[in-house]
Each structure stands twice: as structure tokens, then as C-alpha cells.
């Protein structure tokens, strides 16, 4: 556990986060996701950057330096207890994991499912 203080105090568990960034189709179909990018990041106090003075965030991917311009993901987005999604949907929500291996396995699974969907998988869940 670690604590970050902004205008309020935020306490988070150290661990690993998986984020999925949708890549949206061109102007003709702005509602369609054409591809995804999956990032895995280490969630620790020394990797947190407070944006807008109130939002503790971590880099989208472990390969990003903490002084980069982003993208940055709010730490509160990473949750480990999420409602199950229907079998017809791609789960693109941010997830928290205890170990790096669990996070990397999940990231690989999300990417593989996106690249090779089952015929009935036509929806996405982002929140």
C-alpha cells in the first residue's frame, strides 16, 4: 500500500495494471474501434504523477519514462473486482493484478482475443 496526497489523501495497493487504449476508426465511423493498444504498467508510489493537481496517474505502459507526456492513466481506474461481461463482448476495462506475470498474461489474452475474435464477439465493454 502507498499513499499519495493531493487535495485529499489517496491510498492504493502496489501491483500491476493493464490498460487498453482503443484506436478509433476515421471520421466516417467515429463510433467504431478499429484496433487496440494494450499497456502494462507497474503501480508504485515512485511512478505516480499527479495531473491537474488532484488526479494520481501512472504511465500507460511500463516502457514509458515517468517524465514523459503520456498517455497517463488514473490509478483509480485499475480495479481487480469487476463485474463479469457477457461472452459476446471484448473486455477493454483497466485491470489491477498482484503480479507482473498475471498482468502480462491478461494483456496477451486481451490482445489475442481482439485479433482473433469468436464470431459472436461483436461488442466492447470499456467501463
pTM: 0.83
pLDDT tens, position by position, 71-88 = 999 999 998 876 666 666
Q: Is the C-alpha dihedral spanning 104, 95, 39, 60 positive or negative?
A: negative
Nine-digit cell at 66? 515517468
Residues sharing a CB contact under 8 Å with residue 103, sequence separation 6 or more, in sequence order:
15, 16, 17, 18, 40, 95, 97
- List strand residue ranges (DSSP E) for 49-88, in order: 49-51, 55-59, 72-74
> What's the half-sphere exposure (Cβ side, CA atoms, 13 Å) at 84?
3
Q: Kindly state the average pLDDT of the residues 58-65.
A: 87
pLDDT tens, position by position, 7-54 = 788 899 999 999 999 888 776 666 778 889 999 999 999 999 998 888
Amino acid at each position: 500500500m502507498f499513499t499519495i496526497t493531493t487535495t485529499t489523501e489517496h491510498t492504493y495497493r502496489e501491483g500491476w495494471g493493464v490498460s487498453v487504449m482503443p484506436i478509433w476508426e476515421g471520421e466516417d465511423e467515429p463510433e467504431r474501434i478499429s484496433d487496440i493498444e494494450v499497456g502494462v504498467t507497474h503501480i508504485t508510489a515512485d511512478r505516480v504523477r499527479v495531473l491537474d493537481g488532484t488526479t494520481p496517474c501512472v504511465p500507460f505502459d511500463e516502457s514509458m519514462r515517468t517524465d514523459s507526456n503520456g498517455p497517463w492513466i488514473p490509478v483509480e481506474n485499475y480495479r481487480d473486482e469487476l463485474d463479469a461481461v457477457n461472452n459476446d463482448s471484448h473486455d477493454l476495462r483497466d485491470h489491477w493484478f498482484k503480479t507482473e506475470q498475471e498482468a502480462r498474461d491478461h494483456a496477451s489474452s486481451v490482445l489475442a482475443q481482439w485479433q482473433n475474435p469468436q464470431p459472436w464477439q461483436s461488442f466492447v465493454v470499456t467501463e
